[in-house]
Amino acid sequence: MDLIVSKKWLLARMYEPDLVIVDCRFELGRPTAGQEAFAQSHIPGAIYLDLEVDLSSPVSTHGGRHPLPDPDVLAKRLSQAGISNNSRIVAYDDQGGMYASRLWWLLRWLGHDSVYVMDEGFSAWKDGGYPITDAQPTIIPASFVPNLRHDMLADMNKVKQSLSNPGVLLVDSRDASRYAGEQEPIDAKAGHIPGAINSFWKQVSDDSGAWKSDQLLSSQFSRLTEAMDKGQEAIIYCGSGVSACPNVLALHKLGYSQVKLYAGSWSDWISYEENPVATGEE
């Protein structure tokens, strides 16, 4: 089954008992905006999980702006939200799939495969005349037991070791100007990890906000997939480990499940003063 599901697919199955719909809307700089949007209207039966409250650990010296949540803490939160190891989860947001993809990655990291992202997002659902509600869902707690996939993750030391390893390809998922170090609106230093190539995460979608076909994605990621076909390893990062997730998801769609996420990403990398920084193109 495809990892991206259509609005029609979800409409046909939204009341099936093992399906859990998760609203992941969030806005950087406005931390309550997603919760407020959910309270106003959401897909019927959906629960809300917040990027910074539920899907990240508190910020500290290292780990980036959105550190990975503790697996046991996240599993407990998923259980409270009614998600079990037998649940099918469909995540959505209204930000191009960035936050929904974060939940997708986290669940895969916890060993759960039955997780999908709804194409296009909430505004397309609403504008398409699909049902919405402001009713708070009734949540029946469940039991979610994590089974961590450590091989999905790269830490700072792994990335640092890769700088001198031609068998590892680093991919920066931020927009071209941040990658090149021309501007940096969020983090303390501008630039990218030396040797990284750039593949802006928003390019997984077309101009309408729908995910591109596998054929288009395959063409777009050809440099990366050709490297992996030859046995190279790929590590994907962004600013804080969130917007890299759509790129990881796209590669999974194409059958490249061995790709790793550098969860701390650029904001973790620059928290170590000694780490080198590159600017311009690679």
Distance CA 92, CA 96 (A): 9
Distance CA 263, CA 240 (A): 7
Residues 6+ positions from 46 with CB-CB distance below 8 Å: 21, 22, 23, 38, 92, 137
Helix axis angle for 98-109 and 71-80, nearest 10°, is 110
Distance CA 214, CA 52 (A): 31
Residue position matching structure tokens 């859990």: 20
CA distances from 91 to 80, 106, 195, 280 (A): 17, 12, 33, 35
Q: Which two three-digit tokens encode residue 223? A: 């440099």
- Taking alpha carbons only, the member of 121, 58, 124 closest to residue 94 is 121
Helix axis angle for 98-109 and 245-253, nearest 10°, is 70
Which amino acids are annotated catalytic? 238
**How far is residue 15 CA from its own chain's centroid?**
25
Buried (b) or exposed (e) across 195-217, using 16+ Cβ within 10 A? bbebbbbebbbeeebebbeeeeb
